[in-house]
């Protein structure tokens, strides 16, 4: 029975990643960061053309799920994709 529980935990974790990536803005954020890592909020906001508050909410969700990591560089924070499953999903969907 323990083996089934462990497998369900893995499946639930992967489902959370897919759920996070199912939102078009979050998918676009992760796709952009896989292609060119180290973007900051200003660069992403300009590219996505959305309010900073909206972008911050999406970044928080992606960080909370362990998909992104923010690294401080002086006054700005640059973002990087740290989840390999998220990278694989982007590469499978977009073949970039």
C-alpha dihedral, 25 to 29 to 35 to 36, nearest 10°: 140
The highest-level CATH class for domain 2-94 is mainly alpha
Regions of the chain where pLDDT drops below 70:
1-2, 96
Q: Spell out the domain ranges in the chain.
A: 2-94
Provide the whole-model pTM: 0.88
Report the half-sphere exposure of 8 (CA within 13 A, side-chain side). Answer: 5
pLDDT confidence of residue 69: 97
pLDDT confidence of residue 27: 96
């Amino acid at each position: 029975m323990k083996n089934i529980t462990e497998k369900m935990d893995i499946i639930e974790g992967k489902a959370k990643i897919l759920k996070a990536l199912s939102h078009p803005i979050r998918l676009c954020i992760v796709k952009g960061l896989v292609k060119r890592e180290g973007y900051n909020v200003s660069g992403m906001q300009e590219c996505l053309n959305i309010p900073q508050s909206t972008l911050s909410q999406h970044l928080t969700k992606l960080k909370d799920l362990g998909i992104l990591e923010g690294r401080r560089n002086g006054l700005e924070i640059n973002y990087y994709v740290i989840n390999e499953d998220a990278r694989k999903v982007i590469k499978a969907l977009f073949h970039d």
